[in-house]
């Protein structure tokens, strides 16, 4: 793969995935604009992630059935329209509908990752997937900062309308830059979906890696959905701009993605997965004890992002080896599974915060990676890396 194409795929993944997270730092503002409570505002994040799960289950498998460049262009065009509708919303229900549609079509990011894996040479697949994922994850993390800054300067609607323009431009760029990539199966759409479910039964390691990420992404979403309420509340009184600057420190964690890809190439998947779970649990311990210190909260955010991203990259590298002809379908199951955990974390996080404060959120967030670590100890695969034949 030429270097410029790897960079383009990384940027495209980041810009597309960012659509899922622009609303997180805006929740306090949207609560006031639409006169709704924090829990109702948090449903915007949940709706977006539910849409993403639906897109992963019903659209991403088409990456094995339909020519990828054409599929990517169509989905980005729909995303642009949905984001424009969100920026023009006159009521919260309209914003929820736009969020659902944009969540469904923003799965373009997860079509591009297995696309990159298919184009990469075997010996460099982990490194290239790690680089593309680094761009995707940087987009996720910087989305909060960008959203906060733009909304503070020009209002929350400009965040959505600006994304609509970016999606339209990205659709044109990828249309001309991506190579044509023939489908890897000629199965009918119904059979593609059926075969996707079959992969879950066939590959135990796919189930294991998915469950790991349910716990990890649930903790991740609970943290980032509630932290804006903490920072704008008593004790900090941060503005939207201040929340955005705080979110910026979490982007440091995206730097671990290329390293995680190299660890996978070296056969260290299982060992480093355990380290990732332990680091994530430690992040919430620091967050709980340091709830009155922005420095400790920032440190916990960095460690959280490092742990979650490491586990994600290692998981994707593992599942891509299961069946090269079904990478899009494997990825759809994997991402849909752990985004279900993310949706639950986004929904439960604000409820737990309202009931027990930040301490309760820290306890919830710390418990989830500890459960993943406990499950990890049951993996008796020989050697340093995950076995692809058993759990």
Residue 257 binned pLDDT confidence (cut-offs 50, 70, 90): low
Predicted confidence (pLDDT) per residue in 193-206, tens digit:
888 888 888 899 99
Query: CA dihedral defined by 13, 18, 21, 25, rounded to 10 degrees?
Result: 150
Q: Which of 94-108, 140-154, 360-374 has the lowest mean pLDDT?
A: 140-154
Report the residue count for the chain: 391
Q: Look at residue 346 in the predicted model and tell me its pLDDT.
A: 81
Does position 216 have pLDDT exceeding 90, yes or no? yes
Does position 383 have pLDDT exceeding 60, yes or no? no
Structural domain includes residue 135 = yes
**Which domain covers residue 131, as residue numbers?**
3-376
Q: What is the mean pLDDT of the chain?
A: 85
Structural domain includes residue 381 = no
Structural domain includes residue 388 = no
More reliable by pLDDT, 385 or 117: 117
Structural domain includes residue 283 = yes
Structural domain includes residue 251 = yes
What share of the chain in percent tops pLDDT 70? 95
Residue 391 binned pLDDT confidence (cut-offs 50, 70, 90): very low
Does position 317 have pLDDT exceeding 90, yes or no? no
pTM (2 decimals)? 0.73
Predicted confidence (pLDDT) per residue in 48-88, tens digit:
888 988 988 888 888 777 888 889 999 999 999 999 999 99
Return the HEC string of the chain.
CCHHHHHHHHHHHHHHHHHHCCCHHHHHHHHHHCCCCHHHHHHHHHHHHHHHHHHHHHCHHHHHCCCHHHHHHHHHHHHHHHHHHHHCCCCHHHHHHHHHHHHHHCCHHHHHHHHHHHHCCHHHHHHHHHHHHHHHHHHHHHHHHHHHHHHHHHCHHHHHHHHHHHHHHHHHHHHHHCCCCCCCCCCCHHHHHHHHHHHHHHCHHHHHHHHHHHHHHHHHHHHHHHHHHHHHCCCCCCCHHHHHHHHHHHHHHHHHHHHHHHHHHCCCHHHHHHHHHHHHHHHHHHHHHCCCCHHHHHHHHHHHHHHHHHHHHHHHHHHHCCCHHHHHHHHHHHHHHHHHHHHHHHHHHHHHHHHHHHHHHHHHHHHHHHHHHHHHCCCCCCCCCCCCCCC
Mean pLDDT of the 325-336 span: 81
Q: Look at residue 386 in the predicted model and tell me its pLDDT.
A: 42
Q: Number of structural domains, the chain? A: 1
Mean pLDDT of the 15-33 span: 86
More reliable by pLDDT, 307 or 316: 307
More reliable by pLDDT, 14 or 24: 14
Does position 240 have pLDDT exceeding 90, yes or no? no
Distance of CA 249 to the CA centre of its chain: 17
Mean pLDDT of the 158-172 span: 95
Identify the residue whose tokens are 């969100």: 86
Residue 48 to residues 67, 105, 145, Cα–Cα distance (Å): 26, 10, 19
Structural domain includes residue 104 = yes
Structural domain includes residue 387 = no
Q: Look at residue 104 in the predicted model and tell me its pLDDT.
A: 93
Mean pLDDT of the 4-29 span: 87
Predicted confidence (pLDDT) per residue in 298-314, tens digit:
999 999 988 998 998 89
CATH number at residue 137: 1.20.1250.20
Structural domain includes residue 197 = yes
More reliable by pLDDT, 60 or 322: 322
């Amino acid at each position: 793969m030429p270097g410029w194409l790897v960079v383009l795929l990384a940027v495209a993944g980041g810009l597309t995935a960012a659509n899922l997270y622009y609303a997180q730092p805006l929740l306090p503002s949207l609560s006031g604009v639409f006169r709704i409570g924090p829990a109702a505002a948090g449903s915007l994040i949940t709706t977006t992630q539910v849409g993403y799960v639906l897109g992963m289950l019903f659209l991403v498998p088409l990456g094995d059935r339909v020519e990828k460049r054409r599929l990517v262009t169509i989905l980005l065009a729909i995303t642009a329209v949905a984001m424009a509708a969100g920026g023009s919303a006159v009521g919260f229900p309209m914003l929820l509908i736009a969020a659902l549609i944009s969540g469904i079509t923003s799965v373009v990011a997860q079509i591009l990752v297995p696309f990159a894996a298919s184009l990469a040479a075997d010996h460099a697949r982990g490194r290239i997937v790690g680089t593309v994922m680094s761009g995707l994850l940087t987009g996720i993390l910087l989305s909060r900062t960008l959203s906060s800054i733009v909304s503070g300067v020009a209002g929350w609607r400009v965040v959505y309308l600006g994304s609509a323009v970016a999606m339209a431009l990205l659709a044109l760029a990828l249309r001309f830059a991506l190579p044509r990539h023939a489908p890897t199966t000629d199965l009918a759409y119904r059979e593609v979906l059926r075969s996707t479910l079959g992969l879950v039964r066939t590959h135990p390691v796919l189930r294991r890696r998915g469950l790991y990420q349910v716990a990890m992404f649930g903790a991740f979403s609970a943290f980032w959905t509630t932290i804006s309420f903490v920072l704008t509340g008593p004790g900090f009184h941060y503005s939207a701009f201040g929340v955005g600057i705080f979110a910026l420190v979490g982007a440091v964690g995206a730097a671990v993605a290329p390293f995680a890809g190299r660890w996978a190439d070296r056969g260290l998947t299982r060992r480093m997965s355990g380290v990732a779970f332990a680091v994530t649990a430690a992040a919430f311990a620091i967050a709980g004890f340091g709830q009155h210190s922005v420095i400790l909260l920032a440190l916990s955010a960095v460690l959280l992002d490092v742990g979650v991203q490491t586990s994600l990259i290692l998981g994707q590298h593992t599942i891509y080896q299961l069946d090269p002809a079904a990478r899009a379908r494997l990825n759809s199951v994997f991402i849909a599974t752990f985004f279900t955990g993310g949706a639950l974390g986004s929904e439960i996080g604000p409820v737990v915060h309202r009931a027990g404060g930040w301490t309760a959120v820290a306890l919830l967030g710390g418990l989830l990676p500890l459960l993943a670590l406990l499950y990890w100890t049951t993996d008796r695969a020989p050697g340093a890396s995950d076995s692809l034949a058993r759990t």
